[in-house]
Structure 1
Amino acid sequence: MRVPSMLLMPFVALFGLVSARSATGDRVLVVLESAAIKDDYSQFWDSLQQRGFELTFKEPKSKDAELVKFGEAQYDHLIMFAPTAKNFSPSISPKAILDSQFKGLNTLYILSPQLSEVQREHLREYDLEFIPSDLVLIDSFSHPSGESASTVLLPPTECAISNGAILSDTTLTGGPIAYPSGTVHSAGLNPYLIDVLHAPKKSYIGQDKILTADETEVVNAVGGKKSKDAVQTGKKASLISALQTRDNARAGFVGSGEVFSNKYWGKTVETVNGKKVETGNAAFVTDFTRWIFQETGVVKVVSTTHFRKGETEPREMYTKKDDITFSLTLAQHVTSENGTSSWGPFHADDIQMDFTMLDPHIRTAMIEDKSSNPADATTYKAKFIAPDRHGVFKFVVEYWRPGWSYIRTSSTASVVPLRHDEYPRFITGAWPYYIAAISTSVTFLAFVAIWLSLGEGDRDRKGKKKAE
């Protein structure tokens, strides 16, 4: 028995609403360096699958691991867990990954201190430079009791970025994040990089071994006295970074793969002070991957319009000194705890609009219009007077804030001078000329009237004298 397709449509729509939590898709390619380590991160994989993602595991040299096939993207997200790999299949090579990122591929790089030179060169494309392979982050004052000092416990209040688009309040106020045997990198001048997690102040970079009180051994471990490289510590030592392009493709760089392991996933550890605390790795990884896979921090433009005062429809041409209203509607991607995703209102108080030709002639703040806000979006409006200059202008809105989607919208309209029949009957600034012209005319008419009246009287008197 065939079921009518119309009856299946509501169920298909409901299934799509429940399963799709990312704004860009749910297909994830996981490139694992070794299948043997897959079970050590089972809780991480399970958390992704519970969020509706479809995971496909491949090895670096797998020929069937294709990001693009016949010009179509085969995956929406990529997890590159092959820090020491030196060879890749052409379809997932560093160049292929960069090409896919230009088309919107979101990528999570899970790294380690033993980075291959191929990976180092690839990561330099993002303006990231990593420390040598034999060095790790060490903190003798903040690590689990009984473990090496290279298993650093990072308090989120001190080391994590305070950005609601990337990390939730639960993560920022939760337990320390275990960062075992992790590498450190320094970020260049790339304006699209975001420092998500940095090293604590008392940490340093050195070899993963127990040091004695010998000063020479300590100095050699941290680079030697003659080293010309700057010592990275505190905020200068980046551990986890993120990147978002102007095309809103996202990438994350995690310097320790053990952050995702089952060993520290929601486990309780004892600090060197004897205090037992629950690690915040599970909450941090969940928030970070939600941002990378575009479940959070995603904003889109629903609509834009502009119109003159007293009207509701947009115009192709406006006149100088017109009262113009520009309206922008934005929506934020929202994912609920039960697995559904939808679009909701986006509230911000720092959105600006430029009315520009070659340079911005007018830059004004956009105010939230609470009277006309739909349930699933937010409308912002800006009111201004058209400049006293004719030409082709653009309504431009650029919103670029760390963690949020990059928004840029532009629409064009012309500003023209008044036509000959559109000028006002009387111009206020010309009243002195009006008065001068009127007074001159009145004076001339009065003079003519007086002259004529005086001339007729003299002629009559002369005529009477001649008659006599």
Structure 2
Amino acid sequence: MPFVALFGLVSARSATGDRVLVVLESAATKDDYSQFWDSLQQRGFELTFKEPESKDAELVKFGEAQYDHLIMFAPTAKSFSPSISPKAILDSQFKGLNTLYILSPQLSEVQREHLREYDLEFIPSDLVLIDSFSHPSGESASTVLLPPTECAISNGAVLSDTTLTGGPIAYPSGTVHSAGLNPYLIDVLHAPKKSYIGQDKILTADETEVENAVGGKKSKDAVQTGKKASLVSALQTRDNARAGFVGSGEVFSNKYWGKTVETVDGKKVETGNAAFVTDFTRWIFQETGVVKVVSTTHFRKGETEPREMYTKKDDITFSLTLAQHVTSENGTSSWGPFHADDIQMDFTMLDPHIRTAMIEDKSSSPADATTYKAKFIAPDRHGVFKFVVEYWRPGWSYIRTSSTASVVPLRHDEYPRFITGAWPYYIAAISTSVTFLAFVALWLSLGEGDRDRKGKKKAE
């Protein structure tokens, strides 16, 4: 099912590229998600559609990445071609591939094993999320309406205010997962408080008896509700490769893309699926939340050029310039200022000797970036030090920069003429010298008088 959509007149808004590989299993009908594909193309992305076992779906060819982003829409697939196997995907993610996983309750065991690599564990295949109090009228309770004010992460880097204050997000027949202790995971969307996990059907008396006899234990083990039931998660590595996990493919379907639905209490509301999917894919494909280091420098007070060596007690200024990837209303992307009030700098040698906040310096900031500065006094210890800045906030690019400089003692001609701490020694040396001179003068004067008296006695 190869298909390539090329839009030469539109420039991609992503900071990493515009080539997208879509792995779409045969069970999914591409036309049912046409509005989603169109939204990506309108943002300047080039979509290439392949099936899970397509041999020409190569992420890497001759050592070069063929795609910048991957949409894995094959939750039930049991086998993949070697070039897009789970191992190949992980290898490409280490090299910067951004991946969107669109999942369903019918996850294959291959996909489950692959998702465990990210520390995600999904509920059994026969269970879905159910909410009897929040679903469209006339539809199954498994089509859960998620109010973003209650269920979505409040993070401006991932979701915009339009999404957070907009209509409910329809989550039809979706699976649920629990996140482990992976510190790089972000819980983007979780289940409402009144929801629960169960089977999306009403069992007859005979079926209930069979379930209790055969599968009752499995159902009793699945007791995830509220915030513990993750529906959409995101991950960003230290290399800033991003991945997203959505537990329901119907979230992207035309059926709920900007449509009006009637709730169980008779209210008509417009779904927020279009806004949510747009924001989430913008983050995954590096259109939002991207920050880069433009430059770093350090110098001594009264100077402007960096030094390889500083002297103890020098007044040092460290400067860091950051830029944020932004997209204008007309669709063009550029770099602009990045504002934050929680950036810190470490002056470290094995352990941080100095940790200080960096303050925005508007006077020296260029138009398309922001400059931060930290001023401090070099410690009274010589050695090789590093200027280190680590900025790790959920949703934003991971920033780490390091530069090296030495701190040396004063040279012999740089010490002050008199050292305050040495005054006792100065006084002792001077008093000893004065006492010695007084003693010599006294001894000489007394000695000459004795010799004169002895000479007079002999003459008599």
TM surpasses 0.5 = yes
Q: Deviations over 1:426-451 (max 9, x none)?
A: 11111111112112222322333344
C-alpha change, 1:223 and 1:403, in structure 2 (3 Å) is farther
Is the alpha carbon distance of 1:390 and 1:383 closer, same or farther for their aligned partners in structure 2, counting shifts above 3 Å? same
Preserved CA contact (<8 Å) 2:3 2:49? no
Render the CA deviation track for 1:43-66: whole Å, top value 9, x for unaligned: 111111111111111111212111
Shift of 1:13: 22
Check whether the contact 1:207–1:222 (CA below 8 A) recurs between aligned residues.
Answer: no
Matches within 5 A, 1:360-399: 360-399=352-391
1:29 and 2:21 matched: yes
CA distance in 2 between partners of 1:218 and 1:241 (Å): 35
Q: Which is further off, 380-389 or 342-351?
A: 380-389
Task: Map 1:338-377; keep pairs closer than 5 Å.
Answer: 338-377=330-369
Aligned length in residues: 460
Shift of 1:200: 0.4
Give the whole-Å Cα distance in 2 for the aligned partners of 1:319 and 1:80.
Answer: 56
The answer on whether the counterparts of 2:7 and 2:44 sit within 8 Å (CA) in structure 1 is: no
Which whole-Å CA distance do the structure 1 matches of 2:169 and 2:133 have between them?
Answer: 15
When residues 360 and 228 of structure 1 are mapped into structure 2, their CA distance, relative to the original with a 3 A threshold, is: farther
1:14 is displaced (CA, Å) by 18
Of 251, 263, 272, the residue aligned with 2:243 is 251
Any unmatched runs of 5+ in structure 2? none
Structure 1, 417-426 or 243-252: larger mean CA deviation: 417-426
Distance (whole Å) between structure 2 residues aligned to residue 285 and residue 128 of structure 1: 21
Indicate if the aligned counterparts of 2:5 and 2:47 stay in contact, CA closer than 8 A.
no
Corresponding residue number in structure 2 for 1:142 = 134
Shift of 1:113: 0.8
Partner SS for 2:435: helix
Give a deviation string over 1:6-37, Cα, whole Å, max 9, x none.
xxx99999999961310000111111112861
| 1:347-369 Cα deviation digits (max 9, x unpaired) | 11111111122222222221212
TM-superposed CA distance for 1:219, in Å, is 9.8
- 1:203 CA displacement: 0.4
CA distances 1:135-155 after superposition (whole Å, capped 9, x unpaired): 110000000011100000000
Alpha-carbon distance between aligned partners in 1 of 2:419 and 2:4, rounded to the nearest angstrom: 66
Whole-angstrom distance in 2 between the partners of 1:438 and 1:31: 89
Q: 1:458 to 1:428 in 2, by over 3 A?
A: same
Residue range with higher mean Cα deviation, 114-123 or 292-301: 114-123
Query: In structure 2, what is the Cα distance between the partners aligned to 1:218 and 1:175?
Result: 40
Residue pair 1:211, 1:217 contacting (<8 A) in 2 also: no
How far has the Cα of 1:387 moved from its partner? 2.0
CA offsets, 1:204-227, max 9 Å, x none?
111112479999789969974786
CA offset digits 1:211-256 (Å, max 9, x no partner): 7999978996997478662500101110000000111000000000
**Is the contact between residue 19 and residue 69 of structure 2 (CA under 8 Å) also seen in structure 1?**
yes
Partner Cα distance (1:216, 1:12) in 2: 48
- Cα distance in 2, alignment partners of residues 336 and 454 from structure 1: 101
Question: Partners of 1:189 and 1:371 in 2: how far apart?
Answer: 43
Is 1:28–1:54's contact at 8 Å kept on the other side of the alignment?
A: yes
- Are the counterparts in 1 of residues 70 and 99 from structure 2 also a CA contact under 8 Å? yes
- Structure 1 residues 427-436 or 312-321, which shifts more? 312-321
Task: Report whether the alignment pairs 1:18 with 2:3.
Answer: no
Q: CA deviation at 1:385?
A: 2.0
- 286-295 or 119-128: which moved more? 119-128
* Contact preservation (8 Å) 2:197, 2:222: no
| Structure 2 counterpart of 1:171, from 163, 183, 186 | 163
Answering whether residue 64 of structure 2 is matched by residue 67 of structure 1, we say: no
Alpha-carbon RMSD across the aligned residues, in angstroms, is 4.1
Shift of residue 459, structure 1, vs aligned partner: 4.8
Quote how far apart the aligned CAs of 1:188 are: 1.0
Preserved CA contact (<8 Å) 1:332 1:344: yes
Aligned equivalents of 1:457, 1:431: Cα separation in 2: 39
Distance 1:97 1:119 in 2: 12
Give the secondary structure class of the aligned counterpart of 1:241: strand
Which deviates more from structure 2 when the two are superposed, residues 100-109 or residues 414-423?
Answer: 414-423
Q: Is the 8 A contact 1:212 1:218 kept in 2?
A: no
Segment drifting more, 421-430 vs 214-223: 214-223
**Structure 1 residues 389, 17: CA separation in 2 closer, same or farther (over 3 Å shift)?**
farther
- 2:5 and 2:41 in contact (8 A); partners too: no
In structure 1, how many angstroms separate the alpha carbons of the residues matched to 2:3 and 2:36?
Answer: 30
Superposition deviation, residue 318 in structure 1? 1.6
Residues 13, 284 of structure 1: alpha-carbon distance in 2 compared, 3 angstrom cutoff: closer
Query: 288-297 or 12-21: which moved more?
Result: 12-21
In structure 2, C-alpha distance between the alignment counterparts of 1:225 and 1:267, rounded to whole Å = 39
1:440 to 1:79, Cα distance in 2 relative to 1, 3 A:
same
The Cα shift of 1:384 comes to: 1.8
Given that residues 127 and 188 in structure 1 are in contact (C-alpha distance below 8 angstroms), is that contact kept between their aligned partners in structure 2? yes
Structure 1 residue 228 corresponds to structure 2 residue 197: no
Q: CA deviation at 1:464?
A: 6.4
Cα 1:228–1:268 change in 2 (3 A) is closer
Q: C-alpha deviations, 1:112-169, integer Å up to 9, x for none?
A: 1111111111111111111111111000000001110000000001000011110011
Q: Tell me how far 1:393 sits from its aligned partner.
A: 1.4
- TM-score under structure 2 normalisation? 0.93
When structure 1 is superposed on structure 2, of 216-225 and 58-67 the one drifting more is 216-225
Q: Could you tell me how far apart the structure 2 residues matched to 1:199 and 1:97 are? A: 29
Report if aligned partners of 2:158, 2:280 keep a CA contact under 8 Å in 1: yes
**Partner-residue secondary structure (3-state), 1:258:** helix
Displacement of 1:460 after TM fit? Answer: 5.2
More divergent stretch after superposition (428-437 vs 134-143): 428-437
Unpaired runs of 5+ residues, structure 1, are: 1-8
Instruction: Select between 235-244 and 381-390 the one with higher mean Cα deviation.
Output: 381-390
SS in 1 for 2:404: strand
3-state SS in 2 of match to 1:458: helix
Identity %: 98
Q: Given that residues 207 and 221 in structure 1 are in contact (C-alpha distance below 8 angstroms), is that contact kept between their aligned partners in structure 2?
A: no
* 1:448–1:223 distance in 2 versus 1, CA, 3 Å: farther
Q: Which moved more, 1:80-89 or 1:239-248?
A: 80-89
Whether the 8 Å contact between 1:17 and 1:340 is mirrored in structure 2 is no
1: CA distance, partners of 2:128 / 2:78: 21
Q: Do 1:303 and 1:328's aligned partners in 2 also have CA atoms closer than 8 Å?
A: yes
* CA separation of 1:279 and 1:12: change in aligned 2, threshold 3 A: closer
Cα 1:211–1:45 shift into 2, 3 Å: same
Structure 1 residues 56 and 389 mapped into 2: Cα distance closer, same or farther (>3 Å)? same
Q: Is the 8 A contact 1:198 1:234 kept in 2?
A: yes
Change (3 A) 1:273 1:212: farther
